[in-house]
Amino acid sequence: MLFRTYDRADGATKGLIYDTVCQQLYEQDVNAIRRLMLEYRELRRFQNSQRHTRQIVVYCENHFSWSYFKPFVDLLLDDEAVEVTYLTSSHADPFLNDPPARVHAYVIGEGTMRTIAFAAMEADVVLMTTPGLGTTYLRRSPHVGKYVYVPHSMASMHMVYPKGSFDGFDAVFCVGPHQERELRETEAIYGLEPKQLFQTGYVKLDTIIDEARACEPAQSEGAPVVAIAPTWGADTITDLCGEALIQCLLDAGCHVILRPHHITVVTEAARLDALTREFADRPNFKYDSGLTTKQVYEAADVLITDWSGAAFSFGLGLLKPVLFVDTPKKIKNAEYDLLENRPVEIQLRERMGAVLALADISLAAETVTRLVAGRERWRHDLEDLREKVCHRAAPAASTSAECIRELLNEQQGRVPPLLNTIEKDNK
């Protein structure tokens, strides 16, 4: 389009277009160079840091990820001998401005400096929510004692993640027995070395439960409040039925909050903008551009999603029903069905609410009304399901902190190697 405009323009306009494009490219280049230089300085600062500050390294690929670590890192820092290094790829990460005492923060971007930082890293324990260690630019270093995967979702680990996503980790914190079974079966099928699996539970779930207990339960007396939280990627609610779904709910008098995935905010900005413009004049429609998950979930009576892990946080955390729009499955691993264990995101859909076919999207408001009417039954059923799906014997933060302490002791030679939480003999 720009080239056609340029070709048709007169001489003066061509000059203006040329100057404008050059200025924009210059500013982009200057900003990119500045960011790269900052990341280089941060990399050097990280590499020159004292070794004892890298007992524990936490890596966050964005500034949303810290919430998965904070509850147990806070407990670890109660021991004044513990030092933590915090690596982030986000230049906008607010944690960089004011890290707690004995937490050393560095921004390493998501390009070359991050690759170098990982490949040459020296640490006792590295914690991360990013899958694919060793299969992407995030390489394993021979100078790291243990790499630990901390799940950022309660979903299964063999359908919505690419094959091999967890093979590079030495240990995995498991939110529930389904993840243990899936990882052990994957090891058996592909002949992989058994990992250390820890029954930690899910810190985000505990946070949601604690926050819900601390405030009065919100029950709307009037029209239902519906939060729409699709997953990211192709064939989502946003792609396939977003406008029709929102129109149906608004016409029925529902209050609608659209809460997109943070990746979608970047990759589907134009589509989201079109949706918000379409319903901007409807007083019962709200676009949650701030991604304030806590407030959205507390306000909503029902969550509508497709294959997002948000369903588990909402349904099992707040004990409210979920309406699943039956979009095509989110399959990132074509071999997931080699496992006998069916993904929980398939198994549990009808036990957490209702499933609505794409062809029946006009029935969304009617289905929401039915789910809200049965809220007390759903509360009881979801609480029972929560105890079966999640490890809840102890708070996830304290369990996770204790597992990390033991891993540190193992690496520093103070105790014998840990036994797996699930013994090899019981596989």
Least Cα distance to 283 among 301, 256, 260, 304 occurs for 256
Residues 162 and 196 occupy one common structural domain = yes
pLDDT at 13: 55
How much is the average pLDDT of 22-27?
Answer: 58
Determine whether 383 is exposed, middle or buried from the number of CB atoms within 10 Å of its CB (0-12, 13-18, 19+): exposed
Q: Per-residue pLDDT for 415 more than 50?
A: no
In CATH, what number is assigned to the domain containing residue 245?
A: 3.40.50.12580
How much is the average pLDDT of 240-256?
Answer: 93
Torsion of CA 273, 315, 337, 260, to 10 degrees: 10
3-state SS record for the chain? CHHHHHHHCCHHHHHHHHHHHHHHHHHHHHHHHHHHHHHHHHHHHHHCCCHHHHCEEEEECCCCHHHHCHHHHHHHCCCCCCCEEEEECCCCCHHHCCCCCCEEEEECCCCHHHHHHHHCCCEEEEEECCCCCCCCCCCCCCCEEEEEECCCCCCCCCCCCCCCCCCCCCEEEECCHHHHHHHHHHHHHHCCCCCEEEECCCHHHHHHHHHHHHCCCCCCCCCCEEEECCCCCCCCHHHHCHHHHHHHHHHCCCEEEECCCHHHHHHCHHHHHHHHHHCCCCCCEEECCCCCHHHHHHHCCEEEECCCCHHHHHHHHHCCCEEEEECCCCCCCCCHHHCCCCCHHHHCHHHHEEEEEHHHHHHHHHHHHHHHHCHHHHHHHHHHHHHHHCCCCCCHHHHHHHHHHHHHHHHCCCCCCCCCCCCHHHC
**Poorest-confidence range of 4-13, 180-189, 216-225?**
4-13
| High-pLDDT (> 70) share of the chain, % | 87
Average pLDDT, the chain: 87
pLDDT at 71: 95
| High-pLDDT (> 90) share of the chain, % | 66
Predicted confidence band of residue 66 (pLDDT cuts 50, 70, 90): very high
Residues 174 and 75 occupy one common structural domain = yes
Does residue 85 sit within a domain?
Answer: yes
Residues 159 and 264 occupy one common structural domain = no
Contacts of 157 (CB under 8 A, 6+ apart): 151, 165, 166, 179, 182, 183, 186
Does residue 398 sit within a domain?
Answer: no
Predicted confidence band of residue 427 (pLDDT cuts 50, 70, 90): very low
Domain limits at 239? 217-389
413: left (phi over 0), alpha (psi -120 to 50) or beta: left
Residues 305 and 366 occupy one common structural domain = yes
pLDDT at 226: 95
Does residue 230 sit within a domain?
Answer: yes
CA distances from 114 to 39, 60, 126, 137, 164 (A): 8, 11, 14, 8, 21
Predicted confidence band of residue 290 (pLDDT cuts 50, 70, 90): low
Residues 192 and 76 occupy one common structural domain = yes
Residues 355 and 226 occupy one common structural domain = yes
Residues 126 and 225 occupy one common structural domain = no
pLDDT tens digits, residue range 203-225? 999 999 998 887 765 555 678 99
Does residue 384 sit within a domain?
Answer: yes
How far is it, in rounded angstroms, from Cα 1 to Cα 318? 49
In CATH, what number is assigned to the domain containing residue 415?
A: 3.40.50
Q: Which residue has the tokens 């006998």?
A: 340
Does residue 7 sit within a domain?
Answer: no
Q: Per-residue pLDDT for 311 more than 90?
A: yes
pLDDT at 335: 96
Say what the pTM is: 0.86
Does residue 383 sit within a domain?
Answer: yes
How much is the average pLDDT of 233-250?
Answer: 90
Residues 159 and 131 occupy one common structural domain = yes
Q: Per-residue pLDDT for 246 more than 80?
A: yes
pLDDT at 218: 56
pLDDT at 234: 83
How much is the average pLDDT of 358-386?
Answer: 96
pLDDT at 217: 58
Residues 271 and 296 occupy one common structural domain = yes
Q: Using an 8 Å Cβ cutoff, are 214 and 402 in contact?
A: no
Residue 324 φ then ψ, to 5°: -95, 120
Q: Per-residue pLDDT for 417 more than 50?
A: no
Residues 127 and 174 occupy one common structural domain = yes
Contacts of 168 (CB under 8 A, 6+ apart): 132, 133, 134, 135, 140, 147
pLDDT tens digits, residue range 130-155? 999 998 889 999 999 999 999 999 99
pLDDT tens digits, residue range 83-135? 999 999 999 898 898 899 999 999 999 989 999 999 999 999 999 999 999 98
Predicted confidence band of residue 270 (pLDDT cuts 50, 70, 90): confident
Least Cα distance to 173 among 388, 407, 383, 416 occurs for 407
Q: Per-residue pLDDT for 419 more than 70?
A: no
pLDDT at 271: 82
Q: Per-residue pLDDT for 15 more than 80?
A: no
Number of domains the chain contains: 2
pLDDT at 8: 54
Does residue 354 sit within a domain?
Answer: yes
Residues 46 and 169 occupy one common structural domain = yes
Does residue 173 sit within a domain?
Answer: yes
Q: Using an 8 Å Cβ cutoff, are 343 and 159 in contact?
A: yes
Residues 81 and 178 occupy one common structural domain = yes
Least Cα distance to 248 among 293, 304, 295 occurs for 304
Predicted confidence band of residue 75 (pLDDT cuts 50, 70, 90): very high
